[in-house]
Amino acid sequence: MSILPDIIFDYENAKGFFGPEELVQMEEKVKQKHKMLLDRSGSGSEFLGWIDIPERYDREEFEKIKSAAQKIRKDSDVLVVIGIGGSYLGARAAIEFLQGRYPGYPEVYFAGNNLSSTQILEIKQRLEGRDFSLNVISKSGTTTEPAIAFRFFKRMIQEKYGKAEASGRIYVTTDKNKGALKELAGKEGYTTFVVPDDIGGRYSVLTAVGLLPIAAAGADVDELMAGAALGRNKFMEAGFESNDALQYAAVRNILLEKGKNIEILAGYEPCLHYVAEWWKQLFGESEGKDGKGIFPAAVDLTSDLHSMGQYIQDGQRCIFETVLDLSNTGEEILVGEEEDDLDGLNYLAEKTVDFVNRSAMKGAIKAHVDGGVPNLKVTLAARNERTLGELFYFFESACGVSGYVLGVNPFDQPGVEFYKKNMFTLLGKPEIRQI
């Protein structure tokens, strides 16, 4: 019996929106950009370390990550991860995708991803009477949101355990050689991990940035990397006809040329919510520049069929939809039978909730396509680390190629500095520093 790959891309429900000759033309563009990416001849080539990391990662640091994760699991009920953007979204996506599979492991709370005092105090309350550790993630150590949160939780952990023991519970992921956080870690004796110079934050989930909290939560990071390696092999070696990442990059750019400039990522399982949040940053920050780019949005279905469903079905036809289909949830809950059948659902008796959910998905896809919304689908074979690792690599590699097709540098983010300059001026910061 043949074994299906962990990730399958399908654009059958988009073929009615463009002609085969358009795909042939885009295929040639995508092949050229694929070669440019692998040759490191395009813009942003100094940030392409993510391409090879599933095969060529630092084995010594990888073992150090697993050792630190084991210590966190042994002495902590909770790990507080402090970071923003690419410094936390990949880890959160992985942990929530795999949630519930590792009872007894530390809970993971995420802080420093906003400027809400309410959230900081809520986490503080949840830490009362519990043992905890900190993992602060920042290349510079001066980014406002995580720096404020780290000041707060560092003081809290030092008050609880004393400075010496607290230092053994603080894990820092930062620049290898320089920066405020690197300097502080050296002074205080914190365990440190490296944010690689050649990998941008939104591509960093398979580095210590993502791997330490993922491992601390109980996930098998060896399997995660194995899945990413499988994705890399497909991306590097497969021809266009069997290269899912290249096909995804091609089809989404054809649809953009057709005026479909908003992509909605739709998941039918709650565990996919933060996968979508990670995806939004990956594509939004990579493609949204120079007045170009496909706007990335996301919905949680079937919940959002009762809110956003009307717009998707009947609003402006500038959108296309990419469905994440988790084909095997591993759960079987039967719908019960009621004697009175007042809600009229006895026709579903003895069917699984998953069957109902998948029927809703198929029905929504057909309705949306009929309503003028092209649909792409990414099928995930299982809810496990290997599948997720391949999914991460699939989106990263497709994003790199797609950005080059658009004619932008998909590995920089110059626009994010503008709001910071305005904020620092309003706060009275004496000197504007690059962060």
Q: Which residues are catalytic?
A: 285, 420
Q: Tell me the Ramachandran region of residue 341: left when phi exceeds 0, alpha when psi lies from -120 to 50, beta otherwise.
A: left
Residue whose structure tokens are 């043949």: 2
What is the Cα–Cα distance from 329 to 289, expressed in whole angstroms? 37
Burial class of residue 43, CB neighbours in 10 A (0-12, 13-18, 19+): middle
**Other C-beta atoms lying within 10 Å of the C-beta of residue 25:** 14
Those residues whose C-beta lies under 8 Å from the C-beta of residue 212, and which sit 6 or more positions away, are 65, 68, 69, 91, 135, 171, 173, 193
What is the Cα–Cα distance from 381 to 329, expressed in whole angstroms? 9
Torsion angles phi and psi, residue 323, rounded to 5: -95, 130
**Other C-beta atoms lying within 10 Å of the C-beta of residue 249:** 26
Query: Beta strands 132-137 and 170-174: pairing type?
Result: parallel
Residue 420's nearest CA partner among 435, 407, 430 is 435
What is the Cα–Cα distance from 425 to 431, expressed in whole angstroms? 9
